[in-house]
């Protein structure tokens, strides 16, 4: 259950009185998620989502508000936080930081089709194009600077082969990225898995859960997406979903030569990032709440598949509006 801090109608009705959103008619806890308490809030005027932040660095929450406001202003399909009558979005409720959002339409796609992959690729490409100019700054907390020291904490729990695999990979990333030119930077989602999107049929209702958001290599964000959205149960890339997503993305933001060269390595790096983070939750830093950790083996398989098969060729970009006069 994702409601770690229960709320009653009186608390929420008092909270809503600061906003111009109507009067509470229904409050319902959301049994999903792993870190925060989430509630669906219905008023006589709107459908909303209320989030209480249970974990993480609360001083970083203004960054997420600024990022979501920025993306919303640039017409990226996100839920921009609701601001109160004084223009303030971030509040406190039941002793926890709290944000209120409009409820976006749709459901998580467990098995995304080609149209959904294309819609996500288009939205991510547009997001990266505008996020390149985002003025906020939060260093990527899960890039190579994190991988390098943190992987030592799990080696004792791994087989000799997996220890060598992890150490060899980290060394390869250090060499390749140390010699590479600077890659395009911008604001990242940082965790754009299928369950952080909502689809109404083939239409993207919105991208949600930006609490891993940061600034850094745009290619890092794209690799996370492809490793999840275009991957089969064995960890191999599905060519059709891969091409649908990347063709739509590249039409919005073509990759630089340096990004194209580092693309196979970035797919491996982000696979290792999730293998390691899940191992840390299992062996080193278990969740604060009684939740079942994600299986690290999934991303070990993905990493091995990327090493064995490499990356698929990047698709050609189809001209936009090619039939326009």
What local confidence, expressed as pLDDT, does residue 322 receive? Answer: 43
What local confidence, expressed as pLDDT, does residue 54 receive? Answer: 85
What local confidence, expressed as pLDDT, does residue 4 receive? Answer: 82
What local confidence, expressed as pLDDT, does residue 244 receive? Answer: 98
φ/ψ of residue 295, rounded to 5: -75, 120
Q: Count the Cβ atoms, other than its own, within 10 Å of residue 289.
A: 12
CB 70 within 8 A of CB 186: no
φ/ψ of residue 187, rounded to 5: -80, 135
For the chain, residues with pLDDT lower than 70 are: 1-3, 32-34, 56-57, 287-291, 318-325
What local confidence, expressed as pLDDT, does residue 1 receive? Answer: 43
Burial code of 103-131, b = ≥16 C-beta within 10 A, e = fewer? bbeeeebeebeeebbbbbbbbbbbbbbbb
Q: What are the tokens at 16? A: 């809503």
What local confidence, expressed as pLDDT, does residue 319 receive? Answer: 59
Rounded to whole angstroms, the Cα distance separating 307 from 267 reads: 9
What local confidence, expressed as pLDDT, does residue 323 receive? Answer: 41
Sign of CA dihedral 33, 38, 42, 46: negative
Q: Where are the alpha helices (DSSP H) in the chain?
A: 9-16, 61-73, 114-131, 144-150, 160-179, 218-229, 239-252, 257-283, 297-309
Residue partners of 108: CB distance under 8 A and separation at least 6: 194, 195, 196, 197, 198, 199
Q: CA nearest 50: which of 109, 9, 108?
A: 9
What local confidence, expressed as pLDDT, does residue 291 receive? Answer: 65
Domains of the chain by start residue, with CATH: 9-102 (3.30.200.20), 114-309 (3.90.1200.10)
């Amino acid at each position: 259950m994702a409601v770690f801090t229960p709320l009653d109608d009186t608390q929420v009705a008092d909270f809503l009185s600061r906003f111009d959103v109507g009067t509470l008619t229904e409050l319902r806890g959301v049994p999903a998620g792993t870190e925060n308490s989430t509630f669906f809030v219905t008023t006589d005027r709107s459908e909303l989502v209320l989030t209480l932040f249970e974990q993480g660095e609360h001083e970083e929450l203004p960054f997420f508000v600024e990022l979501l406001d920025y993306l919303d202003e640039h017409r990226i399909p996100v839920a921009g936080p609701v601001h109160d009558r004084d223009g303030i979005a971030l509040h406190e409720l039941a002793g926890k930081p709290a944000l209120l959002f409009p409820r976006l339409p749709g459901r998580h796609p467990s098995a995304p089709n080609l149209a959904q992959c294309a819609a996500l690729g288009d939205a991510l490409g547009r997001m990266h194009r505008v996020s390149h100019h985002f003025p906020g700054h939060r260093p990527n907390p899960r890039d190579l600077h994190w991988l390098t020291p943190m992987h030592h904490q799990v080696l004792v729990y791994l087989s000799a082969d997996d220890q060598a695999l992890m150490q060899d990979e980290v060394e390869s990333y250090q060499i390749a990225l140390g010699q590479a030119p600077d890659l395009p930077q911008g604001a990242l989602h940082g965790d754009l898995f299928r369950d952080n999107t909502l689809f109404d049929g083939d239409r993207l209702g919105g991208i949600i859960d930006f609490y891993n958001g940061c600034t850094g290599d745009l290619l890092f964000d794209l690799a996370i997406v492809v490793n999840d959205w275009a991957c089969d149960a064995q960890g191999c890339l599905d060519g059709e979903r891969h091409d649908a997503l990347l063709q739509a993305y590249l039409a919005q933001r073509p990759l630089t030569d340096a990004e194209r060269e580092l693309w196979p390595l970035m797919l491996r790096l982000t696979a290792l990032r999730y293998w390691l983070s899940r191992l840390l939750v299992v062996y080193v830093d278990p969740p604060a709440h009684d939740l079942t950790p994600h299986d690290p083996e999934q991303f070990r398989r993905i990493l091995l598949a990327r090493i064995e098969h490499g990356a698929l060729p990047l698709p050609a970009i189809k001209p936009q509006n090619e039939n326009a006069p």
